[in-house]
Structures are given as structure tokens and as C-alpha cells.
Homo-oligomer: A and B are copies of this chain.
Amino acid sequence: MTVDLNDLDDETFRATVRDWVVANYPEELRNPPKRLHWRDNKVWYFKLAEKGWLCPGWPAEHGGMGLNAGKQIILLEEFERYGVARTNDHGIIMVGPLLIQYGTDAQRAEFLPKILAGEHIWCQGYSEPNAGSDLASLRTSAVSDGDDWVVNGQKIWTTLANDANWIFLLVRTDPGAKKQEGITFLLVPMDSPGITVRPIINIDLHDEFCEVFFDNVRVPKRWTVGEVNKGWTMAKNLLGFERIYLGSPKLSGYALSRLRMLAERMGTWEEPNFQDRFTRLRMEMDDLKALHATFVDIVRRGDALGPDVSMLKVIQTELFQKITDEMMDIAGANAGLLEPMEGNRNLHPSGQFIQARPSTIYGGSNEIQRNILAKNVLGLPG
């Protein structure tokens, strides 16, 4: 089947995906305002697994679809267009590619089938309380003790750790090394003795993130991925392709359509002032789409993305925020309501405004992205 899909022309492939998504994706899960927990999204996870579409980028030999980059983008676009929610997908987009590239045959045999079966739900242990955007200064330590590592420390902003039964973890294994050296990649079951998970209620009053504490957690060394002390490079390589998602114009497009609904409901749609501001937002989004397309083309050609992809994240997240700012401006006193207006999920200015807040902080804050642009793209001095 995978070979067939790659051989389809793009438009046929797109139509195939669209039809199947419309027929199979649960209506009530479209465009959810908050990240879904496993209890809600597993239906869709298993449906994808059954269809064989769970892992578009994995080679067919490992149970993936083996889609080329162009087709993967079409699949993603069609999912986005229909408002398909993210699943607990860290196993799919992070652990799978990691093991396929750097793991041993034994690790691949142990873990990949369980991701495909929805048996292992993974979360990502990167950030730490004192190393938010400064990953290289992480301090969670792993000390060698016979066949085990003994892990101590704390991770934070661990997305959906409260759903996961496994965590992939960056730990410091050589405290004497330079910052970005001495970091190692470990795979750890969440039910290991000494792990505690504490959900963090975020500003959206939702428990999407957690803290994860490690108190003398023993991890068998066979769950080390790749070379000891070389975890930093592996982690960096994994991030490459993902960054383009943060710059997808889809989120702003969705918000813009909600802004329009709100303006129509509030009676401001026809006002020249509003029309002017709306047009500016719409043109900004279209220009973002054009820029995004140039990066998608790079991926489609199979080339590596440069650091200038940081631009997309900055533009997309700040546009998203501008759109929700505008919602707040026109909503009048409704801007203060906790719940959607009139029970209509599409008319929820305060909720959408709050949901837009973290976007400029996570995934490398926009300050960090601008640092990257200044130094790595523009070549400005340290």
C-alpha cells in the first residue's frame, strides 16, 4: 500500500487523504480549543494505526507509511485543514525517528511495534526549571552504577506526561564537560520507582504540562540511545524538521475565521476600521503562507532547513496573537467571560486570547528565535 500512495499524483493523494479523514475523524474532536488527553484522542490514534497511517515518515520496513517528504506535507495539510487534533504523538514523531537513526536493532524491535500498537505512550523530557530556553545548561544527572544509570533531577513543561508510560530523556552524564557535551539520551519507563509526576495547571486552566521528578531512578543501560555524551547532537537533529510545524499558517487561519465570526456577531464586521484591520491581518497571513511555502519546498526537495526557519515561528505566533488581540478589542464586555459566548465554542475571544499566550514562549521563545536569526542568519557578533 505504501508504494501505491507514493506513486499517486499529488492531487489524487490529497483527495484520498481528505476523503478518508472526513469519513473517519470524529466530528466532536475537530479544532479542539485545548490539547487533548489520551483518553480523548486514542480513538483516532487507533484508527490511524489500523489504517496504517500512524507513522507517515517511518520507512515501511519499520511499519511506517514510508511517504516521501512532499506527500507527508500533503497529509499534514489535509489533517490541518480538517482541524484534526494532535494525538499523543511523541513516540511517532520523536522516538521512532530517533531509534531508526541512532538506535540498535534490539531497541527498534523492542519499542517501534509498541508505538505502532498504541501500547507505549511517550513524553519528552528536555526542559528543566533553570534551563527553559537554554537547553544546554540542563542539570538532571545520570551516574553510572553497574548495568544501570541512576538518574536524579527534574524536568518541566513535559507535555502530557500524565498520559505517558515512557519518557525519553536528556541527562547529563559528564558534569565536567563543556555545556553541550556530556549529555546523553535515555529511554525510561514512567512506572520506574523514584519518578513522580506533578501536573502544572497552565494559564488556560488546563493540565497540558507536567513536572517530572527523578529521585534515584535506576535505568538499565540498554535503554541508552546512541553514544554516551552525544545526546545533544541527536536532540538537535530531531528538532530540524519539526520547526516548520510551529510556523504553519493554519493556526492563524483558523483564528482569523473565528475573528470574522465574532465580528459578524458583534456587528463590527462592516465597520471600515475593522475591515481595514482585518484586511491587514489577512494579508499578513497570506504573506506568511507564501513564505511558509518556500520552506515547505525545501523540505519537499529533501534539503535541510536552515536557521532562517525561525522566521516562520516568529511571524506565525505573533500573527496568531494579533488576531486574538483583535478579538478582545471588538468583544466588548464579553472579553471578560470565562466560557464561550452563548455556548458557541467559536465565539470565545477570551479563551482564544489566552490560548495564544504560550505560543511566543514555547518551542524556543521568540526572543531565542530572534537571537538565532541575528547570530546564525544575519551573522551579527556574539
Contact = CB atoms under 8 A, between A and B. Distances in A.
Interface footprint category on A: under 10
A270 to B, nearest CB: 11
A273 B271 CA distance: 9
A276 interface: yes
Interface of A: 271-273, 276
Contacts of A271: 272
A199 to B, nearest CB: 34
5 contacts: A271-B272, A272-B272, A272-B273, A273-B273, A273-B276
Ranked nearest first, the 5 interchain pairs of A and B with the lowest CB-CB distance are: A272-B272, A273-B276, A272-B273, A273-B273, A271-B272
A156 to B, nearest CB: 25
A271 B273 CA distance: 9
A273 B275 CA distance: 9
Nearest to A272: B272
A276 B272 CA distance: 10
A272 B271 CA distance: 9
Contacts of A273: 272-273, 276
A210 B271 CA distance: 52
Nearest to A271: B272
A271 B275 CA distance: 13
Nearest to A275: B273
A267 to B, nearest CB: 15
A146 B271 CA distance: 78
A188 B65 CA distance: 83
A273 to B, nearest CB: 5
Contacts of A272: 271-273
Contacts of A276: 273
